Structure 1
Amino acid sequence: MTLVSMDLTGKIALVAGGTRGASRAIAVELGRAGAFVYVTGRSTAAGRSEVDRPETIEETVALVEAAGGTGTAVRVDHLVPDEVRTLAATIGAGHGRLDILVDGVWGGDHHLQWGKPVWEHDLDASLRMLHLGIDAHVITAHALFPLVVAAGDGLVVELTDGIPEYDAVFRQGTSTAFYVAKTAAHQLVKAEAFELAPSGGTAVAFSPGWLRSEAMLEIFGVREDNWRDAIAETPHFAISETPTFVGRTVAALAADPGRHELTGQSLDSGLLAKRYGVDDVDGSRPDGWRYMIEVERAGLPADPETVAKYR
Structure 2
Amino acid sequence: MTTETKPLAGRVVLVAGATRGAGRAIAVRLGAAGATVYVTGRTTRDRISEVGRATETIEETAELVTAAGGEGVAVPTDHLEPDQVRALVERIDRERGRLDVLVNDVWGGEHLIGSSFGKKTWEIALADGLRMLELGVKTHLVTSHAALPLLTRHPGGLVVEVTDGTTAYNGGRYRENLFYDLAKNAPIRMAFGLAEELADSGGTAVSVSPGWLRSEQMLAAFGVTEENWRDATKQLPDFAVSESPVYVGRAVAALAADPDRARWNGRSLDSGQLAREYGFTDADGSRPDAWGFMLAKETDPDTRVEDYR
* 8 Å contact kept, 1:42–1:48: yes
The alpha carbon displacement at 1:91 in A equals 0.6
Residue 93 of structure 1: aligned partner? 94
Instruction: Verify: 1:59 aligned to 2:57, yes or no.
Output: no
The alpha carbon displacement at 1:299 in A equals 5.4
**Amino acid paired to 1:93:** R
* 8 Å contact kept, 1:104–1:160: yes
- Number of aligned residue pairs: give it: 303
Equivalent residues in 2 for 1:35-114 (5 A)?
Answer: 35-54=35-54, 55-112=56-113, 113-114=116-117
| Match 1:154 to one of 138, 157, 161 | 157
With the length of structure 2 as denominator, give the TM-score of the two structures.
0.95
With the length of structure 1 as denominator, give the TM-score of the two structures.
0.95
Residue 181 of structure 2: aligned partner? 179
The alpha carbon displacement at 1:270 in A equals 0.5
- The gaps in structure 2 that reach 5 residues or longer are none
Residue 210 of structure 1: aligned partner? 212
**Amino acid paired to 2:139:** A
Instruction: Verify: 1:251 aligned to 2:249, yes or no.
Output: no
* 8 Å contact kept, 2:212–2:242: yes
* 8 Å contact kept, 1:209–1:241: yes
The alpha carbon displacement at 1:56 in A equals 0.7
Equivalent-residue separation in structure 2 for 1:24 and 1:171 (angstroms) = 28
Q: Flag the 1:94–1:39 CA change in 2: closer, same or farther, 3 A.
A: same
* 8 Å contact kept, 2:211–2:270: yes
Residue 137 of structure 1: aligned partner? 140
User: What is the DSSP-based 3-state SS (H/G/I as helix, E as strand, rest coil) of the residue aligned with 1:136?
Assistant: helix
Q: Which has the higher contact order (CA 8 A, sep 6+)?
A: 1
Residue 29 of structure 1: aligned partner? 29
User: What is the DSSP-based 3-state SS (H/G/I as helix, E as strand, rest coil) of the residue aligned with 1:147?
Assistant: helix
Equivalent-residue separation in structure 2 for 1:129 and 1:181 (angstroms) = 7
* Deviation readout 1:87-139 (Å, 9 max, x if unpaired): 11001111221101101001112112112100110000011111111111111
State percent identity of aligned pairs: 54
**Amino acid paired to 2:234:** A
Which stretches of structure 1, 4 residues or longer, exceed 6 Å deviation after superposition? Answer: none
Equivalent-residue separation in structure 2 for 1:6 and 1:32 (angstroms) = 7
The alpha carbon displacement at 1:6 in A equals 5.8
Tell me the C-alpha RMSD between the 2 structures: 1.3
The alpha carbon displacement at 1:170 in A equals 3.1
| Match 2:121 to one of 118, 121, 127 | 118
